[in-house]
Amino acid sequence: MQHDEVIWQVIRHKHCSFMAKIETGIFCRNPYNVTGICNRSSCPLANSRYATIRDHDGVLYLYMKTIERAHMPNKLWERVKMPRNYAKALEIIDKHMMYWPKLLVHKTKQRLTKMTQMRIRMRKLALKTREKIMTVPTKQKKREARREEKAEKAALLEKSIEKELLERLKKGVYSDIYNYPVDKYNEILDKEEVGKATVSEDEEEEEPVIEYVEGYEELEEEDDMEDFGGLAIREDYDNDNLNDDDADNDDDDDNEEKSASVAYKRERKSSARKLAKEEQAAKSKKKIKVQVEVEHEDAVERQRAVY
C-alpha cells in the first residue's frame, strides 16, 4: 500500500516524471519540492508527511500534507498564509511543524528565507527601469532593407533635386545668385520647352540635367572672364523674372560683385565641369547630338550669351 520506501524505490529506480537528471546532479521538477533536489528526504511523493513553501502572487504559503489525507489528492495539501514579517513567519512554521522531523523544518525555513530574499529583490528591481529586450524579426528587417534600396534607386534623388532647384531658381527664390551658368540655364529651359512641345523620351534626359559641352573649356581659356561674366549677368538681369530686388540691378553693385562672382563662377564652373564630365561619361553621345540639333524658337525673348 502506501509505503514510502516502496514508493521511493519505484520512483528513483524506475520512473518518475518529475525527475530531471543533469550533469551536475539530479533535480526534481515537482512544484511542491522543498529543496528542488531529487532526494529520499526531499521527494514530496515518497514522503507521506511533507511541508513546503510556495508563493502565489507574491504571498507565501506554507503547504503541508499528512498521511491521513494521502488517498485524497483533492484535499492533500493544507495551506497556511505566511505573514509578511519574516520573523513571524519563522514562528508560524515552528508552531505548525512542532513535532515534525527537524530536517524538514529546517529545509522549510531555508526555503522561506530564500523566497523572502527573492521577493525583496524582485520588488527592488521593479522600481528600477530596465530596458526591455525586444526581438526583431529578421525577416521583416531584411525585407525592409531590400525595399529601401530599391526605392532609393527608383527615386532618382539627384534628378529630382536638380529639378527642384531649377524650379526654385526659375521662380526666383534665390534672388541673389549671380554666378550660375546662364547659358546652360537657358539651354535647359529651351530644352524643357521643346520637351513640352514634343513629348519625347529625350525630355527626361535633357531637362533636369545641366550639361556642359566640351567647347566650354576652350571658352574659358580664351575669353576674358570679366567680360564674359559681365555680359551674361547683365543680360540675365534684364530678362529674367527673378526677384524684385532692385539693388542687384545697380551697376555699381554689379561691378563689385562681378569680380567676386566671377571668381565664384569659376569655381562653380570647375565643379560644374566635373559634373559635366561625369555625366558625359555616364551618358551617351546621343545627348550631345541632341543639344546641337535643338533650335531655339523663342530666340527673341531670350538673349543668349554668344560664345
- Give residues in contact with other proteins (CB under 8 A): 1-7, 9-11, 13-18, 45-46, 48-49, 67, 70-76
Residue 63 DSSP one-character state: E
With respect to other proteins, which residue has the nearer C-beta, 17 or 138?
17
Residue 37 DSSP one-character state: B
Q: Which residue has the cell 510556495?
A: 54
Shortest spacing between CB 82 and other proteins, in angstroms = 22
Taking alpha carbons only, the member of 208, 212, 211 closest to residue 162 is: 208
Shortest spacing between CB 16 and other proteins, in angstroms = 4
With respect to other proteins, which residue has the nearer C-beta, 11 or 90?
11
CA of 80: how far to CAs of 54, 59, 208, in Å? Answer: 10, 11, 84
Instruction: Find all residues with CB under 8 Å of 268, minimum gap 6, and list them.
Output: 179, 180, 181
Q: Are 207 and 185 in contact (CB under 8 A)?
A: no
With respect to other proteins, which residue has the nearer C-beta, 11 or 232?
11
Shortest spacing between CB 85 and other proteins, in angstroms = 31
With respect to other proteins, which residue has the nearer C-beta, 8 or 228?
8
Helix 86-96 and helix 102-127, axial crossing angle in degrees, nearest 10: 150
With respect to other proteins, which residue has the nearer C-beta, 48 or 113?
48
With respect to other proteins, which residue has the nearer C-beta, 69 or 163?
69
Shortest spacing between CB 145 and other proteins, in angstroms = 35
Shortest spacing between CB 6 and other proteins, in angstroms = 5
Q: Under DSSP, is residue 40 helix (H, G, I), strand (E, B) or coil? A: coil
Q: Are 176 and 244 in contact (CB under 8 A)?
A: no
Q: Under DSSP, is residue 124 helix (H, G, I), strand (E, B) or coil? A: helix
Shortest spacing between CB 4 and other proteins, in angstroms = 6
Mark residue 284 as left, alpha or beta (left: phi above 0; alpha: psi -120 to 50; beta: remaining): beta
